[in-house]
Amino acid sequence: MKNSFKTILALGFLAISLNACKKEDLNLTPTNDVTAENVYATPAGYKNSLVKLYATYALTSPSGSDNSDVGGLNAGFADFLRLFWSSQELVTDEAICAWGDVGIPELDYGTPTPDNQFLRGLYSRSILQITFCNEFLRESTPEKLASRNITGADATAINRYRAEARFLRAYQYWVLMDAFGNPPFITEDDAIGKVNPKQIQRAALFTYVESELKAIEGDLADARTNEYGRADKGADWALLARLYLNAQVYTGTAKYTEAITYSSKVINAGYSLRANYMDLFKADNDLNNTENILTINYDGINGTNYGGTTFIINAAINGDMNPTAYGVPNGGWSGNRTRQNLPALFPDANGSQDKRGVFFGTKRNVDAVGEFTDGLRVTKFKNITSNNVMGRSLNGTFSSVDFPLFRLAEQYLIYGEAVARGGSGGSAAQALTYVNLVRQRAYGNAGGNVSAAALTVDFYLDERARELYWEGHRRTDLVRYGKFTGSTYLWPFKGGVQAGASLPAYRNLYPLPLADLIANPNLVQNTGY
């Protein structure tokens, strides 16, 4: 898929060009002369349109990095991953940003308002991608295929594309459910542009996402058999496992047994840990990678934007750090670094070193939010290949590192945490085996192995931070553990206070954007905002 993705970008995004999302509206219709009848006239047109669904994760618009599909948001901020990452990391103990752009200090403090531009951007970006998926599904029904004389193997292939579109839509509804709880909701079965979308409640959305993922399982490619970067059964199971791990937050009912069931499906599907942890986050991580289950693909020449891994790498370094060593010789934006809590999770155990903790700098404590050198910088992602060659990079600024949405190590830790929380169908002994596989890679030997007694529920929160930091998990994890709000766990500048302060429980959900509340009278704001 990475080659297909690059080809589509190089050809100027030859796929359906729906109207840009100028407001948070799920009922979008095309306003240009590229109609469904010519876009979907051939099987190749359907494949190009499928590529657009994936490419929308990695681009800000069909016309380049200086433009945005999301109205009212600077194109540099409008990439899905940049918005998602900021919503999951900047509000936690894992990251803090030195920039003063409107809305960033609110994220640093965990106190965003309903008009926060970055949360509105994430909400809009997710809705835009859902809208594209809905349109693809409307145009790929058996009736539509028959009317276009598409039959046989071509129709079978397009049915698989439909399953992938439903997966991508389910993923975006998971993003909205996790962050905003009760978003607007619409599918391909709803009339276009007739009424404002109705609001769906979080528990009902959980049921919908769960049912969609189960319904499409049989139509997806077997795990590890699809083109690189396309969803298959492995991605489907991985999202279900993540969904079930957080089910008590979303619905009030725990589903740890189901989390064990679906993480086990992934684990038994033939994936394996990459031998070198740091190779997971390099420019050639698309090659011979048996650990990644689904990625967002980036091309630092043909598919550039100022989000994605370009943002993750550049925002974490400055000119003093020799940007060439990170594969972006003309980069370095002096923005994000970690708070002292994260480096503290990497002690030198038994004379061995946990190689996952890669930091730069000398000052761990964050005393001034706007001072980039307050706090250690994270150097986990590099636009350098495993052979130490610079990755593809236009003007020495952009990254070709693909971002893992799902990988095997997360599934090992989901299995273990679900067992520790009382789920059935797994065993503490198997959980110990999985944890120590992860830790043996981290240490390069058995020096970091733990005993069964160490596998408490709280152990998994810390181990997830060590293994998955800066991969967009931390806010969700802290909410699941009851530590994101309240005062049981504090970190620097939580609540806007240097020593950290309690946050009210309503902040476990983000506010719905004010602009959409005004535009859609069906929406009711989340409690507390």
Residue with tokens 């997806």: 220
Count CB atoms within 10 A of the CB of residue 181.
21
Alpha helices in 283-427 (DSSP H): 308-314, 408-420
In a domain, 459, yes or no: yes
Angle between helices 43-55 and 2-10 (to 10 degrees): 100
CATH of the domain at 387: 1.25.40.900
User: Is the pTM value of this prediction over 0.85?
Assistant: yes
Task: Name the packing angle between helices 43-55 and 152-180 (round to 10°).
Answer: 20
Residue 452 lies in a domain: yes
Instruction: With respect to residue 353, please indicate whether it lies within any of the assigned structural domains.
Output: yes
Is 408 a member of any domain? yes
Q: Is residue 128 part of a domain?
A: no
CA distance 492 to 93: 7
Q: How many domains does the chain have?
A: 1
Query: In which element (H, E) is residue 487 found?
Result: none
Which pLDDT score is estimated for 351?
A: 56
Q: Which two tokens stand for residue 126?
A: 């997710």
HSE-CB at 15 with a 13 A cutoff on CA atoms is 26
Is residue 345 in some structural domain?
A: yes
The pLDDT, as a whole number, for residue 313 is 98
Paired tokens of 495 = 């609540």
Cα separation of 328 and 309, whole Å?
Answer: 11
Contact 16, 135 (CB under 8 A): yes
Amino acid at 503: L
How far apart CA 375 and CA 362 sit, in angstroms, is 8
Nearest to 306 by CA among 12, 485, 3, 83: 83
With a CB cutoff of 8 Å and minimum separation 6, the contacts of 98 are 334, 335, 336, 337, 369, 370, 371, 372
- The answer to whether position 242 is within a domain reads no
CA nearest 126: which of 72, 74, 180, 62? 180
pLDDT given at position 352: 66
| Position 358 in a domain | yes
Instruction: Please tell me the distance from the alpha carbon of residue 341 to that of residue 483, in angstroms, as a whole number.
Output: 14
Q: Which domain holds residue 424?
A: 308-476
CA–CA gap between residue 500 and residue 498 (Å, rounded): 5
Integer-rounded Cα radius of gyration of the chain: 22
- Rounded to whole angstroms, the Cα distance separating 103 from 124 reads 16
pLDDT values of the chain reduced to their tens digit, one per residue, 529 residues: 455 444 443 343 434 333 333 334 444 444 445 678 899 999 999 999 999 999 999 999 888 888 998 888 999 999 999 999 999 999 999 999 999 999 999 999 999 999 999 999 999 999 999 999 999 999 999 999 999 999 999 999 999 999 999 999 999 999 999 999 999 999 999 987 778 999 999 999 999 999 999 999 999 999 999 999 999 999 999 999 999 999 999 999 999 999 999 999 999 999 999 999 999 999 999 999 999 999 999 999 999 999 999 999 999 999 999 999 999 999 999 999 999 999 999 987 555 699 999 999 999 999 999 999 999 999 999 999 999 999 999 999 999 999 999 999 999 999 999 999 999 999 999 999 999 999 999 999 999 999 999 999 999 999 999 999 999 999 999 999 999 999 999 999 999 999 999 999 999 999 999 999 999 999 999 999 9
